[in-house]
Amino acid sequence: MNKAFVREPDDTGRVYCPRCKSLGSPVEAAPLDRYVAPAARNKLGAFAWFCPYQHCEAAYFNQFDVVVTVDELTEPVYPKDLDAPLCACFGYTYDDAAADVAEGQPTRTRELIARTKTPEARCRESAPSGQCCVAAVQELYLRLRNP
Ligand SMILES: [Zn+2]
């Protein structure tokens, strides 16, 4: 499922974070099993939404306003923690984007974007948000380059 789909105005599947009202991104069971601690995992079913807002304590939620908070996760996730990898598949981090900007060449960023188009990229299973990281990576790079 891509972002164009979840942002479609007529899409009745849109669900907003009960804490901060950000539009959630749909997440299947694999990331929930990986990132939600066992003690909190049964609060959510096989499907939930990820809150993409950095400063919101809610990590995952469902349409019944059940929330799993950042401190109920098994590890830090981006963008809740800016030190966590942006790309769960290949490990691209904030520092990689900053290094590219410092060098004036998006070497690491280009390489990452190329790798996300290969079968090795398993965003739906691996990414905390269930989404491909490319949009977030490009946004971060541009934000650091044009502060
Ligand atoms: Zn939120």
| Contacts of 70 by beta carbon, 8 Å cutoff, 6+ apart | 57, 58, 59, 77, 80, 81
* Secondary structure class of 39 (helix, strand, coil): helix
Eight-state DSSP code of residue 75: S
pLDDT at residue 11, rounded to an integer: 57
Q: Would you list the DSSP string of 91-113?
A: ---HHHHHHHHHHTS-HHHHHHH
What's the gap in Å between 104 CA and the centre of ligand 1? 34
What's the gap in Å between 68 CA and the centre of ligand 1? 10
Q: Which residues of the chain have pLDDT under 50?
A: 1-10
What's the gap in Å between 99 CA and the centre of ligand 1? 29
pLDDT at residue 101, rounded to an integer: 97
Residues with CB under 5 Å of ion ligand 1 are 17, 19-20, 22, 51, 53, 56, 58
Q: Which pTM was predicted?
A: 0.85
